[in-house]
Structure 1
């Protein structure tokens, strides 16, 4: 992935906040972070198997989620939050491809 330094920092901070929320609030046994490429965008996906929450009830008191949204706007990206009580949480940060944003596939050995 080749991001301008300012964008790299914003992406890292959004993923970091998502993982902080997993640690502090989810009660999850596991979490997974993936980077995916699709036509026109790069996706950063954070999923956990925790207790979840009512994503329809996002109040202003959820400072971390508000900060993630603000950082996403700086990237001209989008953020989706898929969660419900008892079913974990999936957060997807989408960043437009181009302007220095590319996903690079690197083989991983077990």
Structure 2
């Protein structure tokens, strides 16, 4: 039986990401390791997402009603999102422009 090409490709991508994650375990400081892993995931997503979506590391999501989420590790947002705030790589993103969110591992429930 012929092996599934898509399965082989996905397996090789997962293997490469796993190796990058394992390498990030060499950091003594857990925050540095976490940030490194976010960048690895963000880099992967940047190459896999459709062109109109970007992966943003470190952001908060704001609603029109004035609610603001806690810090989100990765936010998938429309590339046409207006730059409300963009300081040292950290952004505030309008909720209407968000496709998906990865909150910190210690965060539970809805992002806000």
TM-score with structure 1 length normalisation?
0.32
Larger radius of gyration: 2
Higher RCO by CA contacts (8 Å cutoff, separation 6 or greater): 1
TM-score with structure 2 length normalisation?
0.32
Answer 1 or 2: which has greater helix percent.
Answer: 2
